[in-house]
A = this chain, B = another copy of it.
Amino acid sequence: MASGEIDTVLAYLQNHHEQYRKELIQFLQIPSISALSTHKEDVHRAATWLAHRLQAAGVPHVRIEETPGHPIVFGEVITDPHRPTVLVYGHYDVQPVDPLDQWTNPPFSPTIIDNILYARGSSDDKGQVYMQVIAAEAWLKTGTLPVNLKFLFEGEEEIGSVHLEHYIQTHQEELRADLAVISDTPMFAAGVPAVCYGLRGLAALEIHVEGPYQDLHSGVFGGAVANPAHVLAQIIASLHDDEGRVTVPGFYDDVDGLSEEERKNFAALPFDEEEFRQSTGSPALYGEAGYTTLERIWTRPTLEVNGMWAGFIGEGRKTIIPQSAHAKISCRLVPHQDPQKILNQVNQFITDQCPPTVKLRIDRGEGDPGTVTPLDHFATQAAVQAIRAVYHQDAAFIRMGGSIPVVVTFDQVLNIPTVLLGFALPDENFHAPNEHFHLENFDKGAETIATLWQILGQTHHHQGGTHVNP
Contact = CB atoms under 8 A, between A and B. Distances in A.
Contact of A212 (B229, B239, B282, B296): B282
A297 B332 contact: no
Interface string A211-247: 1111011111111111101101111111110000000
A221 B200 CA distance: 12
A10 interface: no
A188 to B, nearest CB: 13
Contacts of A305: 227, 229-230, 233, 310-311, 322
Interface string A192-226: 00000000101010000001111011111111111
Contacts of A307: 229, 310-313, 318, 320, 322
Contact of A297 (B223, B284, B285, B293): B223
Contact of A221 (B234, B297, B322): B297
Contacts of A227: 304-305
Contact of A230 (B240, B285, B359): B240
Interface string A227-270: 10110111111111000000000000000000000000000000
B280 A306 contact: no
A94 interface: no
A404 to B, nearest CB: 10
A230 B226 contact: no
A160 B284 CA distance: 43
Interface in A350-381: 355-359, 365
Interface string A72-109: 00000000000000000000000000000000000000
A167 interface: no
B311 A306 contact: yes
A219 B235 CA distance: 23
Nearest to A235: B233
A283 interface: yes
User: Which one of A280, A305, A313, A325 has the greatest number of beta carbons of chain B within 10 Å?
Assistant: A305
Given A233-B237, A307-B310, A308-B308, A223 B401 contact: yes
Contacts of A236: 229-230, 233-234, 237
A41 interface: no
B218 A302 contact: yes
A357 B282 contact: yes
B320 A306 contact: yes
A438 interface: no
Contact of A403 (B200, B214, B219): B219
Contact of A225 (B212, B216, B280): B280
A238 B281 CA distance: 26
B312 A306 contact: yes
A49 interface: no
B216 A280 contact: yes
A306 B218 contact: yes
Given A305-B230, A311-B305, A287 B219 contact: no
A359 to B, nearest CB: 6
A306 B322 contact: yes
A229 B321 CA distance: 20
Contact of A306 (B200, B224, B287, B318): B318
A1 B304 CA distance: 73
Contacts of A320: 306-307
Contact of A286 (B225, B229, B400): B225
A206 to B, nearest CB: 9
A356 B277 CA distance: 14
A260 to B, nearest CB: 21
Interface string A285-328: 11110000100110010101111111111000111111001111
Given A204-B317, A224-B285, A305-B322, 7 more contacts: A221-B280, A223-B332, A224-B297, A230-B236, A283-B359, A307-B318, A317-B330
Q: Lowest 5 A-B CB distances belong to which pairs? A: A219-B402, A213-B281, A233-B236, A307-B311, A237-B237
Interface of A: 200, 202, 204, 211-214, 216-227, 229-230, 232-240, 276-277, 280-288, 293, 296-297, 300, 302, 304-313, 317-322, 325-328, 330, 332, 355-359, 365, 400-403
